[in-house]
Chain A
Amino acid sequence: MTDRIRINLRQIVNNEERLAPGHRLCAGCAEPTAVRQILHAIEGPVVLSTATGCLEVSTTVYPYTSWRVPWIHSAFENASTTIAGAEAAYKALKRAGKIPEDRQITFVAFGGDGASYDIGLQWISGVLERGHKVIYVCLNNEAYMNTGIQRSGATPRGAHTTTSPAGEVLPGKTQWRKPFTRIMAAHDIPYVAQASPHNYRDLMMKAKKAAAADGPAVLNVLVPCPRGWRHESDQTMAIAKLATDTCYWPLYEVDHGKTIINYKPREKLPVTEWLKAQGRFRHLFRPAYAGLLQEIQAKVDEEWERLLKEEANS
């Protein structure tokens, strides 16, 4: 079924933007790029929820709104359950004949990595288990950026954040990031994917597949943050691409249990290429942390190998 899904740019350029310009997200932030790509890819009406975070506070500064589609924010941890509630209402009202039978609506929740990996994990898990027909999108910039760059479960080992600062004795965050995409896939839902907005065809294809899925779908999208990652705002997409070329952020999907890697770099770059492009890892290049760099490379290699095996076995 999903084989027939195509990205038609000629059609998409004529779409109305569902996220209007004029919002207050930072220059170089990848979040609006990812959101627009996703919303362009989904055909027909959408209803959105957004967790507390950058996207929420920057797009709905009362009395203004950047959303040209129905949108709700209720709290930090529950964008998933809030949209699931709207989807439940949709089912009931359809059953009661109060919504036309042919009215199709795609329900999408956006949450940052803090909202997804940490505070909202239980809520997302519940929504997936109950099989709500919603798309949950994690806009993953690997820390609590809205509150000023604090470490989350998505923050990679060695990253400097304000609550995992690099200091005299600690090299930034001392723990590995949580395998959120795998946790999502372990729910055995129809569709889970990891994506990045620099590869817009891939991300939009995944959004289309998520919308067409016969149940819940999750997209984990890497969204570089110039403020938190300490890079120039015109480097956002280049850095996102480096994440995939180093296999730090593999583009892959788990479609009805089948793992497919969507991008295998011809030449797998060393992870240091990804790390050195960002100020949050600058301290790792002190001689004292040479061993840690090796550990990080080994971890990337191990995860990539595991993914290759998973693809081969599925």
Chain B
Amino acid sequence: MVTSKYMPLDGANAVSQAMRQIDPDVVAAYPITPQTAVVQNFSQYVADGIVHTEFVAVESEHAAMSACVGASAAGARVMTATSANGLALMWEMLYIASGLRLPIVMTVVNRALSSPLNIHCDHSDSMGARDSGWLQLYAETGQEAYDNTIQAIRIAEHPDLLLPVMSCQDGFITGHGVERVGILPDEAVREFVGEYKAKFSLLDVDNPITMGAWDFTDYYFEHKRQQTEAMNNAMPIVRAVSEEYERLSGRPQPIVDYFGMDDAEYAIVVLSSTAGTSRAVARQLRAQGWKVGVVKPRVFRPFPAQEIIEAIKGCKAVAVLDRAISFGALYGSGPLFTDTCSALYNLGVTGLPIVNYIYGLGGRDTLPSMIESVYRDLRQVAESGDRGAPVRYLGLRE
């Protein structure tokens, strides 16, 4: 284990620090609130000659991912960052990056998608990309955003995986919130990420390859099967890298973080910063004698079904909090809810009352009192035996 140096950093700056230490070969990026600080800081590192990176200040997010694809195909270690509409503009290229099996690492500072225009946090951007073949990590804090960024490099580039990774954090709440962040020594990060040697590269002119061929009815299906196989086998790789990083940093890196789940009767499943609020409330309620808990997946793609279900299956009632709506899904629920319900069924858990809360859209504050109301609702559901409305809204005026 090495000793971290503590710095006052917001989540965006924490990621820039990680990127400085990783010193990727190419960063191609475009400014968008609230991600801008990430590439702004990184540009300064480039300007000051602190990194060897070729920084490509592109003219759009689609171009950002296009340049990332070209650079990664040319054997470079490649990173970028975006938010919201920027991610949406990249959509076509997200699938191309994963389909070409390019280990690009992208920070997503989560922000609501238009329309109407809103710059604040929700997860509609990255949740819209959840089927794009990228792994997705969600950070609760600036510390996790930093740690996830470094791990993402090793996960993406693992020779048995070769898939891009999205490392998400909550816009403004985490991205602009200054906190105490432990930074590993530069040398330790460099050693941890190691040197990237692409198996295939466009720049290997003596061994020419064709990438992105025209793949017709006779092969495309098999290639997609290989791709899903890689994603299906990703969890052990994520776990191994996380454990190695845990040993290095001394900071726990669970796939799913549990609080109070040993004996919880009522549990909240939630991603990112609201897990912190939930934990604080759960701690208070537990002090009053309530058996409540919090389940926070740090990894959303691949979906840690086993880990989530094992934790919640003994509960009396469970709430899944979603910061995005999957329009037209069951009851208009959110993606974390539908995946959790699907996992419950497939792992043979029946009869567990489970409700969905849509919260925090467009940056709406999620207060401790709202989390407390969720736990009260859960007790009500369990005691009455009536689930009531399957999808509810937290902090909404109706």
Report if A84-B219 is in contact (Cβ < 8 Å); known contacts: A45-B205, A89-B76. no
Report if A72-B93 is in contact (Cβ < 8 Å); known contacts: A84-B56, A122-B60. no
Are B205 and A105 closer than 8 Å at their CB atoms?
Answer: yes
Residues of the B chain whose Cβ atoms lie less than 8 Å from the Cβ of A291 = none
Instruction: Please choose the segment from B66-74, B134-142, B301-309 that sits at the chain A interface, where 4 or more of its residues have CB less than 8 A away.
Output: B66-74
Report if A72-B211 is in contact (Cβ < 8 Å); known contacts: A82-B70, A92-B54. yes
Proximity bits, A46-67, B CB within 8 Å = 1, else 0 = 1101000000110011110101
Whether A27 sits at the interface, judged by CB under 8 Å, is no
Residues of the B chain whose Cβ atoms lie less than 8 Å from the Cβ of A86 = 70-71, 73-74, 202-203
Whether B273 sits at the interface, judged by CB under 8 Å, is no
Are A72 and B59 closer than 8 Å at their CB atoms?
Answer: no
Report if A81-B58 is in contact (Cβ < 8 Å); known contacts: A62-B215, A71-B211, A73-B213. yes
CA–CA, A68 and B219, complex, Å: 22
Residues of the A chain whose Cβ atoms lie less than 8 Å from the Cβ of B213 = 60-63, 65, 73
CA–CA, A45 and B75, complex, Å: 16
Among A69, A70, A93, the residue within 8 A (CB) of B76 is A93
Whether A200 sits at the interface, judged by CB under 8 Å, is no
Interface size on A, residues (CB 8 A): 46
Report if A126-B60 is in contact (Cβ < 8 Å); known contacts: A89-B76, A105-B203. yes
Whether B96 sits at the interface, judged by CB under 8 Å, is yes
Are B212 and A61 closer than 8 Å at their CB atoms?
Answer: no
Whether B209 sits at the interface, judged by CB under 8 Å, is yes
Whether B237 sits at the interface, judged by CB under 8 Å, is no
Whether B63 sits at the interface, judged by CB under 8 Å, is yes
Are B214 and A57 closer than 8 Å at their CB atoms?
Answer: yes
CA–CA, A53 and B4, complex, Å: 52
Q: In angstroms, how far is the closest chain A Cβ from the Cβ of B203?
A: 6
Q: In angstroms, how far is the closest chain B Cβ from the Cβ of A97?
A: 10
Q: In angstroms, how far is the closest chain A Cβ from the Cβ of B218?
A: 8
Are B202 and A72 closer than 8 Å at their CB atoms?
Answer: yes
> Which residues of chain A from 98 to 128 have a CB within 8 Å of any chain B CB?
99, 103, 105, 122-123, 125-126
> Which residues of chain A from 233 to 268 have a CB within 8 Å of any chain B CB?
none
Residues of the B chain whose Cβ atoms lie less than 8 Å from the Cβ of A96 = 25, 52
Interface size on B, residues (CB 8 A): 44
Are A92 and B25 closer than 8 Å at their CB atoms?
Answer: yes
Closest to A88 in B: B54
> Which residues of chain B from 174 to 220 have a CB within 8 Å of any chain A CB?
201-205, 208-216, 219
Whether A75 sits at the interface, judged by CB under 8 Å, is yes
Whether B333 sits at the interface, judged by CB under 8 Å, is no
Among B52, B69, B211, the residue within 8 A (CB) of A85 is B69
Among A69, A75, A99, A130, the residue within 8 A (CB) of B93 is A75
Are B214 and A93 closer than 8 Å at their CB atoms?
Answer: no
CA–CA, A129 and B209, complex, Å: 29
Whether B53 sits at the interface, judged by CB under 8 Å, is yes
CA–CA, A71 and B204, complex, Å: 11
Residues of the A chain whose Cβ atoms lie less than 8 Å from the Cβ of B26 = 85, 88-89, 92
Are B71 and A81 closer than 8 Å at their CB atoms?
Answer: no
Residues of the B chain whose Cβ atoms lie less than 8 Å from the Cβ of A47 = 74, 202-203, 205
CA–CA, A47 and B73, complex, Å: 11
Whether A31 sits at the interface, judged by CB under 8 Å, is no
CA–CA, A170 and B214, complex, Å: 37
Q: In angstroms, how far is the closest chain B Cβ from the Cβ of A274?
A: 33
Residues of the B chain whose Cβ atoms lie less than 8 Å from the Cβ of A73 = 211-214
Whether A142 sits at the interface, judged by CB under 8 Å, is no
Report if A74-B52 is in contact (Cβ < 8 Å); known contacts: A88-B71, A96-B25. no
Closest to A24 in B: B214
4 extra interchain contacts, Cβ-Cβ under 8 A, other than A65-B210, A72-B210, A88-B54? Answer: A60-B210, A62-B215, A88-B28, A93-B75
Q: List 30 A-B contacts (CB under 8 A).
A: A47-B205, A61-B216, A62-B219, A65-B213, A69-B205, A70-B202, A70-B209, A71-B209, A73-B211, A74-B66, A74-B100, A78-B63, A78-B93, A81-B58, A81-B63, A82-B66, A85-B66, A85-B72, A86-B73, A86-B202, A87-B70, A88-B70, A89-B74, A90-B74, A90-B203, A92-B54, A93-B76, A95-B54, A96-B25, A123-B63
Interface residues of B (CB under 8 A from A): 25-26, 28, 52-54, 56-60, 62-63, 66-76, 78, 92-93, 96, 100, 201-205, 208-216, 219
